[in-house]
Structure 1
Amino acid sequence: MRGPRSIEIWKMGAVNYLEALKLQEKLTSDRKTHKIKDTLLSLQHPPTFTLGKRRTVHNVLVSEAELKAMGAELHYTERGGDVTFHGPHQAVLYPIISLRDIRIGARKYVENLESTMIELASLYGVKARAGHTGETGVWVGHRKIGAIGVRISSGITSHGLAFNIDPDLNYFKHIVPCGIADKEVTSLQKEVGKVLPSEQVIHEQLISSFVKVFGYTDVTWRDKTSDDKE
C-alpha cells in the first residue's frame, strides 16, 4: 500500500519572469537530488511574452522594441509549446514534481494539467475542453482560455500552465498565441460575464483542482509573497 502523496504549495503573488525561472531551475535541481518534495508555485507575472524552445519568433507580430514600449518583456525559454503571454490577472502554476514518483508519463501529465483548468472553469458554469490535434491548452468553443508549456528533465517537471482569469486580452493581439492563427483568446471573466470572486479565491480553486486531479493527499502551504522569497 502506498503512503500519502505529498506536495508543498508556494503562494508567491506577482513575480518577475526571470526570477521565477531561476527559482524553478533551483527547485528542479533540488527535486532531482531529493532535497525537496514535490512543489507547486502559484503566481502571476508582470506583462511578459515567452517563446518555447522551437524559437518561433515569426509568431511575435511586433518588434521587441515595441513590446518594451508597451511595458512588456520578451524571454526565450526551454519549455515546449509556442509563444504565449503572461500578465496580471492570469493564474500561473509551475509544478516541480517527479513524474516517476507519481507514476505517470508525459502525455498523462499534460492531460492532467488540462483537466485542472477544465475543472476550474466548470466551477463557474464554463464548459471548457482540451485542445484538438494541433491545439494545445484548454478551450471554450474556439476560444482559448488556458495555455500549457512544460519542460521535463530526468522525470522532473517545470514550467506549467497559465489560466486567464481577467487579463488584458489586447496583449494577445501582438502574437499568434501558441502558434495557432485565426483563433480567439478568452478569459473566465469574459465567459462568465458577471462579478467573479477575488483572484486569490480563484488561484486557490485552481490549486485545489490541481491537487485533486493529481491525487495529492498531504498538502502543506508556504506563503512566499513577503520578502522571504528565495
Structure 2
Amino acid sequence: MVAGKRLEVWRMRGLVKYAESELLQRQLVERRRQGSADVLLSLQHPPTFTVGKRRTLHNLLASPAELKAIGAEVHITERGGDITYHGPGQAVLYPILGLRELRVGVRAFVERLEDVMVDVCKFHGVNARGRMDKETGVWVEGLRKIGAIGVKVSSGSITSHGLAFNINPDLVYFDHIVPCGIRDKEVTSLRKEISPVVPDAEEVTEQLIQSLAKQFGFEAVVDMEPL
C-alpha cells in the first residue's frame, strides 16, 4: 500500500456523452502528469458504440440508418480492445492513475480491473472469472461476458479509459456488434444472472469503486465535485 495515497472519485450526474468524457479524461491525464492526485471517473453513457485503436469497424453490424433508429452514436478511440457498447444501466469507471507511483505494470493493471468486477460478481453470488483464452474482461461460467476492459496509458504510466460492468443495460444493443470481436460467446448482465432480483445500480457502482480502491491500495477515497 502506498502510504497516504488518496483516490478522488468524481461521480458524474446523468448520462455523459462519450466525447465529453474523452475530453475530461485528457484534461485529467494532464492534471495527473503535473502531480495531482489519482482520479476515478464514475459515469454512464447514452447508447454508444466505441471502437478501439485497432479500428475494427467490421465488427459493427448496424448501418447508419439503423444506428439513427436506435439512437446510438459511434466513436473511434485510442484505447485498447475491440468494439463494445456503452449505455444506461452499465457502470463505467475510468481510472486516471499513475502506475509508476503505484508500482503496477500495465498487464497487472488490467488484471486488477478484472479482479474488481470478479469481486463484485462474487458478492452477488455470481461465479465469474477474469481473462479467458487470452481475452480480457470478466466472464460468467466462462461463457457470458459481464464486464469489458479497454485502457490507454499515456506519458509512460498514466492510465485512462477503463472498465464497463453490465448491471442492467438493454442487452439488445449488443446484437448490433460483434462484442469485443468474439463471435461464439454471449453478453450478460448482473440483472440477468441474479433474476428475479433487480440490482440497485448505485449500490453496485459503489461496490465497484470500493473494490477498485482496495485493489490498488488507496488509503482514502474522497468524493470530489466534477469540474
The TM-score normalised by the length of structure 2 is 0.95
1:153 aligns to 2:154 (yes or no): yes
> What is the rounded CA distance, in whole Å, between the counterparts of 2:2 and 2:66 in structure 1?
53
The separation in 1 between residues aligned to 2:185 and 2:123, in whole angstroms, is: 24
**1:211 aligns to what?**
213
TM superposition shift of 1:177: 0.3
1:98-113 equivalence runs, <5 A = 98-113=98-113
Q: Which runs of 5+ in 2 are unaligned?
A: none
Segments ≥4 residues shifted beyond 6 Å? none
Question: Which residues in structure 2 correspond to 1:149-228 (within 5 Å)?
Answer: 149-154=150-155, 155-224=157-226
Identical-residue share of aligned pairs (%): 58
The one-letter code of the counterpart of 2:107 is R
- Output the CA distance in 1 between the equivalents of 2:218 and 2:117: 17
| Number of positions where the alignment pairs a residue of Structure 1 with one of Structure 2 | 224
Contact in 2 for aligned 1:64/1:74 (Cα 8 Å): no
8 Å contact kept, 2:167–2:199: no
Matches of 2:199 and 2:2 in 1, distance apart?
A: 37
Q: CA shift at 1:198, angstroms?
A: 2.3
Paired residues of 2:3 and 2:219 also in contact (CA < 8 A): no
Closer, same or farther in 2 for the Cα pair 1:220/1:176, shift >3 Å? Answer: same
Aligned partner of 2:126 in structure 1 is 126
Structure 1 residue aligned with 2:27: 26
Supply the distance in 2 between the matched residues of 1:213 and 1:39 (Cα, whole angstroms): 15
**Please, which runs of 5 or more residues in structure 1 have no aligned partner?**
225-229
TM-score, with structure 1 as normaliser: 0.94
Instruction: Give the RMSD, CA atoms, in angstroms.
Output: 1.3
Q: CA deviation at 1:223?
A: 4.3
Structure 1, residues 166-212: CA drift from partner, whole Å, max 9, x if none?
A: 10000001100001112100000000113234211111111011111
Q: Deviation string for 1:204-230 (max 9, x for gaps)?
A: 111011111111112111244xxxxx3
Q: Distance in 2 between matches of 1:83 and 1:108?
A: 22
1:227 corresponds in structure 2 to none
